[in-house]
Each structure stands twice: as structure tokens, then as C-alpha cells.
């Protein structure tokens, strides 16, 4: 018998998703305004120095993602069994791992990092001292971020997304205060900006620490403990997750380098813009999956496989639908949106963005399937297989480009390999959780998603063939596309029970 009520579970996921969307929009809005203030106060040179010097350390931030994923998985598994004592041991072991990692990063930064900064980076001589100050502050800020990761992971594993949202808003508010403070300063603003950002990192860590100690029993004891039983599996999970993330970074940056070698920096600019769009729209899916993934792990831990399967279906389906509501209007009006956003834009930008949107739709299924596989703890084969498929895009793309194929062929390769990777994920899911019905997932998720995609493809082809893009106002195109997708998803994508549930929820909210 499951310890989780399914209706309560769905309600909690919906509420948590709403909290994360509110957080996302607030963070995006404040961040855009903050960036504008900081750029005007620092100037282009100092702003560039802060970005490139801080980037030496920030490029390691993918490690935080791997560590957070591991900690959330192990905590969720323990909490799914209602084992608070084990959750406490996991938390303290996570602290030990993060302390060790922070020491390694500090040692590397204070030796190799400083050497690279002072001998190879092109920094104006009169700003070299300030650049070193920025570097030191960034190192300490990153250490705070690492030590904060187990605390943030507890909040996510406990599904307290309203707190996770508040912490995110607190971060951007503090950064806004930092930006506004620059307008009052007359001293070296670059050094002041670095110090104030360090203070922000410290405040955020203390805020996480106070909340977690007060509300979660597993966080009562904030100390690093070497637990032999947990240390090896947790570090192993982190290591394989890191390899998986490295393969993703390698694919992304490798393709960018290939485009540079064959076509030059203009095509890199188009690639960079398509990556920005991809990051922005994927935020819609990641907010939803952040809310649902801990629940997938908990139900698997409680051996409620039917509930786990229903969450996978629910998560895959709505990840695809939520993304399509945003991506299809962009697909239909890419050129007008780019003109409004940038004015003039580099060649290939529209086609790159359209292909990236298609790839994102394919990969939207990965989040919940991957969460279920990670819930089993058997990630070695998974990360090697998926990472290998991702990196395969580099030699294939190179061969195509050597044979004078256009730059968009790189994205076509990535899309095809993403389909293969999805099939491998489903195969591994069945291998690791035999009770899962793959045919049920295909029927409930991929059949309706495929039908909706086919209709959208026909609408897009007709729209472009008839050149309606020159007839309709872009706002009408975007609104009409969004409404069309919503109607298709309700009519084709949802079953009767889901439609009834949504209708009742809407009526309840209105009443």
C-alpha cells in the first residue's frame, strides 16, 4: 500500500509547479532590469572583466547540478520510505562530500586559476588588481553556493517549492539591491560589486541554513560526517551524473566549435542566440519537472510502481504540452519575434531556433523518464549510453560539414540522435523497472503527442506555403497559435478523466 494519496499528489505537484512559475517570471523580470543597471554602472570594460574572470569559476557550476541531483535522489528515496533517520545520515554525508569538493575547487582556483588569470588573460593593467579581487570573491561565493546545495536539495526533496521559490526571489532582490547600491558608490565599482555579490551569497546560505534547521529534522545537525555505507554510492551517483552533464556540455560546445571552424563567428552568433532561446523556453519544463521528480523517486522507494508509472505518464505528457504552448507560437512567428527582439539578426538564426525548438520537444520526455531511472540508483549504464549518443553528434556532424552540408545539418543530426537516445531511455526504463508498461506509456504519451505534432506540422506548412506570415499581424499569429495548441491538447492530448479534472479545477477557481 502506498503512503501517497494520488489526488493529493497531483494537487501538490500542481501547486508546486505554480509556485515555480511565479518564481521564474519574477526572477526573469528582476534579472533583466538588474543586468541593465549593472552594465550602465560598471561600463562595458569592467562588466566584461567581471564576466570573464568570474566565468573561470562559474563554468564549474554544472558540478552543482550533478551534486544537487544526487542529493535530491537519495533524500527523496529515504523520505519515500518515511526514514527520517537515514535522511539525516544522507544529509550529513552530502555535507562532507560538498566540503571536500569545495576544498578541491579552492586549491585548484588558488593555484591554476590565479596563474591563468595573471599570465594568460587579457586584462587592462590598471584593472589587474580589481580582477584579482573579483576572482577571490567569486571563489568564495562559489564555495558558499556549493555548501548551500545540500540545504537546497532538502527543500526540493521535501517538495517545499514555495520556499524554493522564495529563496530564488530573495536572491534576485538582493542582486537588485547590489545593483542599485552601485549608483551610490564613487569608489572602484568593480571591486565593490564583487564584494557585495559575495555578501549576497553568504546571506542566501545563512537563510537556507536557518530555514532547514528549523523545519526539517534531518537538518538539525549541520555537520560533515563520513558514512561509509552512504559515501561510496552517493559519490558514485554524483560521478556518473557529472559525466552525463560533461557529455552534454561537450556536445553543445563541440558543435559550436565545429560551426566556427567551417563557417566562422557569424554562425556562432546565430548558434548562441538559439541557445539563449532554448534555455529560456526549457525553463517552463524544468520548473514542472522540478516539482514532479522528487515524487517519482518517493513512489518508487515506497514500491508503488503503478503510481510511479502514472507520474511518468503525467510528467512526460505535460512536459511536452507545456513546452509546445510556448514553442509553437515561436516557431510560427520566428522572424517577426527576432526583428522585435534584436532588429537585425545573424544569418541562420531563424532556422537554428526552429530546429532547436523541435529538439527541445523531443527531449522534453527525457526529464521524467530519466528521473525514474535515477530513482533506481542504477545510473552507470544510463549515463554512459546517453552520454555516448550525445557525443556521437560531433563526428557525424564533422563528416557532414566536411562534405559541404549546410550548418543546420548539425541540428538535424542532434534531433535524430535525440530520438535514438529517447528509445534507449525507454529500453533502460523497462530493464530497471520491469513492472513499468512501455506500451502504456507509448499509448498514453507518444500517440497523442505524435498526433498533435502532426497537426501542428501541417498547420505550419500551410501557413508558410500560403505566405500568411506577411498577411497576419505577429501578435495575432502568436495568440492564434497558442490557442490552437491548447485546443489540440485538450481535445486530443487529454483523456476524459483529465479533461474533467481540469474543468472542475477551473470552475472551482472561478467560484
**Domain co-membership, 341 together with 215:** no
**Domain co-membership, 208 together with 244:** no
Which of 436, 468, 495 corresponds to the end of one domain? 436
Q: Is residue 12 part of a domain?
A: yes
Buried b / exposed e over 348-357, threshold 16 CB at 10 Å, is bbbbbbbbbb
Q: Is residue 481 part of a domain?
A: no
**Domain co-membership, 217 together with 297:** no
Q: Is residue 390 part of a domain?
A: yes
Number of structural domains, the chain?
Answer: 2
**Domain co-membership, 292 together with 250:** yes
pLDDT at 369: 96
Q: Determine the distance from the C-alpha atom of residue 49 to the mean position of all C-alpha atoms in its chain, rounded to a whole number.
A: 26
The SS3 call for residue 507 is helix
**Inter-axis angle of helices 474-488 and 334-342, nearest 10:** 130
- Do 375 and 73 form a contact (C-beta atoms < 8 A)? yes
pLDDT at 188: 82
**Domain co-membership, 51 together with 142:** yes
Q: Is residue 491 part of a domain?
A: no
pLDDT at 2: 52
**Domain co-membership, 186 together with 270:** no
**Domain co-membership, 416 together with 345:** yes
**Domain co-membership, 178 together with 262:** no
Strands (E), 200-344: none
Buried b / exposed e over 210-236, threshold 16 CB at 10 Å, is ebbeeebebbeeeeeeeeeebbeebbe
Q: Is residue 480 part of a domain?
A: no
| Neighbour-count burial of 402, counting CB atoms closer than 10 A to its CB (0-12 exposed, 13-18 middle, 19+ buried) | exposed
Cell numbers describing residue 249 = 556540455
**Domain co-membership, 193 together with 256:** no
**Domain co-membership, 15 together with 119:** yes
pLDDT at 473: 78
How far is the C-alpha of 329 from the C-alpha of 164, rounded, in Å?
30
pLDDT tens, per residue, the chain with 511 residues: 455 555 556 666 667 777 777 777 777 777 768 877 888 888 877 877 887 777 666 666 667 778 888 899 999 999 988 888 999 999 999 999 999 989 988 998 899 888 888 887 777 888 888 889 989 998 999 999 999 999 999 998 998 888 888 888 898 899 899 989 998 887 788 899 999 999 999 999 999 999 999 999 888 888 888 888 899 999 999 889 888 888 888 888 888 889 888 988 788 888 888 887 887 788 778 878 888 889 999 999 999 999 999 999 999 998 999 899 989 999 999 998 888 877 888 889 999 999 999 999 999 999 999 999 999 999 999 999 999 999 999 999 999 999 989 999 999 999 999 999 999 999 999 999 999 999 999 999 999 999 999 999 999 998 887 766 656 678 888 999 999 999 999 989 888 877 777 777 666 656 5
**Domain co-membership, 307 together with 382:** yes
| C-alpha dist (Å) from residue 395 to 239, 399, 407, 410 | 25, 6, 14, 10
Which of 436, 453, 484 corresponds to the end of one domain? 436
pLDDT at 509: 57
Q: Is residue 196 part of a domain?
A: yes
User: What is the C-alpha R_g of the chain?
Assistant: 24
Q: Is residue 372 part of a domain?
A: yes
pLDDT at 1: 43
pLDDT at 376: 93
**Domain co-membership, 130 together with 212:** yes
Q: Is residue 177 part of a domain?
A: yes
Query: Residue 254 belongs to what domain range?
Result: 235-436
Amino acid at each position: 500500500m502506498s503512503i501517497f494519496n494520488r489526488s493529493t499528489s497531483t494537487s501538490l505537484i500542481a501547486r508546486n509547479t505554480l509556485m515555480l512559475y511565479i518564481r521564474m517570471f519574477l526572477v526573469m523580470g528582476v534579472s533583466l532590469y538588474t543586468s541593465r543597471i549593472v552594465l550602465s554602472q560598471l561600463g562595458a570594460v569592467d562588466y566584461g572583466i567581471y564576466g570573464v574572470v568570474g566565468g573561470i569559476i562559474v563554468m564549474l557550476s554544472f558540478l552543482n547540478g550533478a551534486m544537487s541531483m544526487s542529493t535530491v535522489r537519495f533524500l527523496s528515496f529515504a523520505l519515500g520510505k518515511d526514514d527520517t533517520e537515514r535522511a539525516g545520515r544522507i544529509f550529513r554525508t552530502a555535507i562532507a562530500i560538498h566540503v571536500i569538493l569545495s576544498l578541491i575547487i579552492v586549491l585548484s582556483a588558488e593555484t591554476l586559476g590565479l596563474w591563468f588569470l595573471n599570465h594568460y588573460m587579457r586584462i587592462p593593467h590598471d584593472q589587474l588588481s580589481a580582477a584579482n579581487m573579483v576572482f577571490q570573491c567569486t571563489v568564495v561565493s562559489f564555495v558558499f553556493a556549493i555548501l548551500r546545495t545540500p540545504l537546497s536539495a532538502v527543500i526540493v526533496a521535501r517538495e517545499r517549492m514555495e520556499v524554493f521559490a522564495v529563496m530564488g526571489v530573495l536572491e534576485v532582490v538582493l542582486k537588485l539591491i547590489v545593483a542599485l547600491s552601485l549608483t551610490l558608490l564613487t569608489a572602484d565599482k568593480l571591486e565593490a560589486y564583487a564584494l557585495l555579490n559575495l555578501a549576497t551569497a553568504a546571506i542566501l546560505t545563512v537563510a537556507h541554513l536557518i530555514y532547514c534547521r528549523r523545519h526539517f529534522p534531518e537538518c538539525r545537525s549541520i555537520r560533515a560526517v563520513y558514512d561509509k555505507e552512504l559515501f561510496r554510492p552517493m559519490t558514485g551517483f554524483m560521478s556518473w551524473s557529472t559525466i552525463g552533464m560533461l557529455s552534454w556540455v561537450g556536445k553543445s560546445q563541440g558543435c559550436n566549435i565545429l560551426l566556427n571552424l567551417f563557417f566562422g563567428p557569424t554562425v556562432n552568433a546565430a548558434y548562441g542566440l538559439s541557445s539563449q532561446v532554448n534555455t529560456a523556453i526549457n525553463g517552463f519544463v524544468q520548473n514542472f519537472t522540478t516539482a514532479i521528480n522528487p515524487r517519482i523517486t518517493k513512489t518508487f522507494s515506497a514500491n508503488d510502481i503503478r503510481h510511479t508509472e502514472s507520474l511518468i505518464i503525467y510528467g512526460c505528457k505535460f512536459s511536452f504540452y507545456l513546452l509546445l504552448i510556448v514553442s509553437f507560437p515561436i516557431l510560427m512567428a520566428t522572424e517577426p519575434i527576432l526583428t522585435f527582439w534584436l532588429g537585425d539578426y545573424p544569418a541562420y538564426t531563424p532556422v537554428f531556433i526552429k530546429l532547436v525548438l523541435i529538439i527541445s520537444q523531443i527531449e522534453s520526455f527525457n526529464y521524467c523518464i530519466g528521473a525514474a531511472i535515477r530513482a533506481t540508483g542504477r545510473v552507470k549504464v544510463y549515463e554512459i549510453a546517453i552520454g555516448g549518443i550525445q557525443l556521437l553528434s560531433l563526428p557525424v556532424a564533422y563528416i557532414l560539414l566536411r562534405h559541404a552540408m549546410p550548418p543546420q545539418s548539425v541540428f538535424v543530426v542532434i534531433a535524430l540522435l535525440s530520438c535514438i537516445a529517447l528509445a534507449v531511455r525507454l529500453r533502460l526504463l523497462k530493464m530497471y523497472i520491469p513492472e513499468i508498461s512501455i506500451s502504456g506509456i507509448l499509448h498514453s504519451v507518444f500517440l497523442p503527442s505524435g498526433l498533435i505534432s502532426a497537426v501542428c506540422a501541417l498547420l505550419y506548412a500551410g501557413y508558410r506555403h500560403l505566405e500568411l506570415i506577411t498577411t497576419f499581424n505577429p501578435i495575432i499569429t502568436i495568440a492564434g497559435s497558442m490557442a490552437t495548441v491548447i485546443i489540440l491538447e485538450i481535445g486530443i492530448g487529454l483523456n476524459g478523466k483529465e479533461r474533467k479534472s481540469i474543468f472542475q479545477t477551473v470552475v472551482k477557481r472561478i467560484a
